[in-house]
Chains A and B, each alone.
Chain A
C-alpha cells in the first residue's frame, strides 16, 4: 500500500524528472550561431592583428587623439580614480609595458617612449577560457569579443587576463559619460568591458577608431594574409609583443 507520504515523494521525483527532461530537450533543439545577415561591405580577415609604430608617436597629442576617438565613440566612462577607472586603450611607459622583458640598457629614447596598451586579442585567450557564460568569446576572425549584456560580473576574466586589459564597472558607468554617443550601447554597473577591435566598424567595412585617428601610426590587417600591409611592416621592422612567453599569442605588435 502506498502511504500519503510515499505518494508525495514519488510525485515530487516524477515532476523533477519531467522538468529536467524538458529543459534538456530545449537545450538540444537550440540553433547554434548568429542569426543575422552579414554586411557585404564588411572587412574580411582570418586573423585581425595590429602593429603600433611606437617611433611615430611623438607628442602627447598623438596619443590623446587616438584614446579620445575610442573612448568617446564607445561611451567609456571617465573615472579619475585609477583604482576604478575604465580604459579601453591607454598609455604606459616602456618598463611597465614589458615587465620582465624590458631591457635596462636599451636607448634612453626608447626608455622614455610611451606605449599604447589595449586588449591583445590573444589567439589563445585565457579570458575566453575562464568565462563561465561565454560573455567573452573568440570570433572566427580572431577578435576576442565581449558581450557586456551577458556578462554576470564574476571577474574571472580579470584574473585570467595577463595584460590588465579588462575593466569592471565599479561605479555606475552612465553617470560618468560626458558626451553620449547614441550609436553605441552604454553599460550598466557590475559588468566587465574592454576593447573589441571595433567589431562594429569592421563589420561595416571600416577600420577601428584608433587606427583611423592615428593617421598611419597604427597598422591593422589580416595576419594570415601574406600580402597584407601588416605582414609587410612586421617583416621589415623590429617588433616586440607583451608577455609572449605565456603562450597567449597576443595580436598586438609593437614596432620599436
Chain B
C-alpha cells in the first residue's frame, strides 16, 4: 500500500518538501545544541531544567491517546458514524506518539547513551514505563490502522485476529497518558505537579485538544480530497470536545480551591505565578491569559449547538481549544512546576529560537508520517463511492 503515497499532485509534493526542509533545519539545530551546549540554545537553566520539549511530549501523548474517542465507540459499541474517521484517528495517534517520543529524545544531553534505558531497564523510573507504553501504543495503532485499511482496499472484512489488538489499543490509550502524568505527579519537591488529579486532568485536556485537532484535520481532508469523513462524525467530535473542555476547566477550579482554601504557600505559588505573577515575576501571565481567553472562546462557540455545527465557527472553536491547551500543557504547566525553585527563589524560562526550531523539526517528522499515512488512507477510501454501511463517502 505504501506505493500509494508516491503518487500525488504538485501541492502534495510541495507540502512534503516543506516538511522535509523543516526536519533538516530541526536536525541542524539539534546538532548545534550538542556542540555549543544547552545554555545558548535553550531557555532552560539549573532551576528550570525541563521546558518546551517536555511540554510537547505531554501535549502530544494526550492527542495520541484521544484516538480512543473514535476507536472505542466504533469498534466496541459499533457506533457507525465513526466508521470512516476511525482510521484517521488511529493514524493521527501514530504521528503524535512519534512526536512525543522524539520530544523526549531531543532533551537528552547525551543522545548516544539513550540505549542505556534498554540496556539497564529500571522499572522504578517512570521514563522507562513511558518508553514501554509509547512504543506499544505506536505499534498497536499502526498495526490496527494498517490492517483494517488493507482489508478495506481489498473490499474484504477486516481479519478476525485484529480484534484483540484493537481492544488492547483501547485499554492502552488512557494508560499512556496516565504514565505521562506519573512523570510529574510523584515528585516530592514539586507541589504544583503533585496532585492526584494529574492523570485525570491530563485525560480531560487530551480529550478536548485531540478531537479539536481531528476536527481541523477532517475539514482539511474534505477540502483537499474527495473523501468525506462525515459531517455527523465531525459534529460528534465537537460535542465530545465540549464536555472534555468543561471537565478541564472544572479541574482547574478544583486546583484553585485546594490551593487557596488550604492556604498552603507551596501550592498557591505556581498558580499565582501563572495567573497573576509571583513576587514580581510575571513572565507567564500574558501567555496564560491568552490560553484562558482561547479556552473560554472555544467553550462559548462549542456550547451553543448552532455555532458548534456551523463549519466556520466550528473551525474557529476547534483552533481556540487546541491552542489554548497547547499553550497550557505544552509549556506553562511544565515551567510553572519549577517555580519557585527549591530555595524559594524564582528563575523564569522561555523558549529559545534554536529550541523552537528543534521542536518544529520534531512536529514535521510527525506531520510527515501523518501525511503519508493519510495519503494512503484517502487514496484507498476515494476508490469506494460508498462506505461499508452504504453511505456515500465521496464528494464530487
Contact = CB atoms under 8 A, between A and B. Distances in A.
Interface in A174-200: 188-192
A57 interface: no
Count class of interface residues, chain B: 35 or more
Interface string B89-108: 00000000000000010011
B187 interface: yes
Interface string A245-256: 011100000000
A201 B117 CA distance: 30
Interface stretch (B38-46, B363-371, B382-390): B38-46
Interface residues of A, number: 48
B336 to A, nearest CB: 13
Interface string B119-130: 110101111100
Contacts of B45: 83-84, 170
Contact of A171 (B39, B49, B108, B111): B39
Interface in B153-199: 183-184, 187-190
Contacts of B127: 130, 132, 154, 156
A204 B210 CA distance: 58
A97 B124 CA distance: 29
**Central interface residue in B116, B266, B341, by most chain A CB within 10 Å:** B116
Contacts of B111: 152
Contacts of B122: 131-134
A188 B107 CA distance: 16
Nearest to B45: A83
A96 interface: yes
A82 B46 CA distance: 8
B109 interface: yes
Given A83-B39, A168-B49, A132 B128 contact: yes
Given A81-B39, A158-B49, A152 B347 contact: no
A159 B345 contact: no
Contacts of B340: 99
Interface string A68-112: 000000000000011111000000100111011000000000000
Interface string A147-181: 00011111110111111100111111000000000
A159 B50 contact: yes
A208 interface: no
B396 interface: no
A36 B121 CA distance: 23
Contacts of A129: 124-125
Interface string B342-378: 1111010000000000000000000000000000000
Nearest to B118: A23
Contacts, number: 149
B113 interface: yes
Nearest to A192: B109
Nearest to A92: B343
B47 interface: yes
B317 interface: no
A96 B340 CA distance: 11
B37 interface: yes
B113 A151 contact: yes
A180 B108 CA distance: 27
B337 interface: yes
A132 B122 CA distance: 6
B110 interface: yes
B265 interface: yes
A189 B50 contact: no
B142 to A, nearest CB: 15
A145 to B, nearest CB: 14
A161 B189 contact: yes
Contact of B265 (A100, A132, A164): A100
A154 B342 contact: no
Contacts of B113: 133, 150-153
Contact of A247 (B131, B188, B347): B188
A154 B47 contact: no
A246 B189 contact: yes
A113 interface: no
B34 interface: yes
B114 interface: yes
Contacts of B124: 129
A243 interface: yes
Contacts of B116: 132-133, 135, 150, 152
Contacts of B343: 92, 96-97, 99, 164
Interface in B17-61: 34, 36-40, 44-47, 49-50
Contacts of A151: 109-110, 113
Contact of B108 (A134, A164, A190, A243): A190
A45 interface: no
A132 B107 CA distance: 14
A154 B342 CA distance: 19
B128 A154 contact: no
Given A82-B46, A163-B189, A190 B38 contact: yes
24 contacts: A83-B39, A84-B39, A84-B45, A96-B343, A100-B265, A126-B188, A131-B122, A131-B125, A150-B116, A151-B110, A152-B111, A153-B108, A153-B113, A154-B107, A156-B183, A160-B188, A161-B189, A164-B341, A164-B343, A168-B44, A168-B46, A190-B34, A190-B38, A246-B189
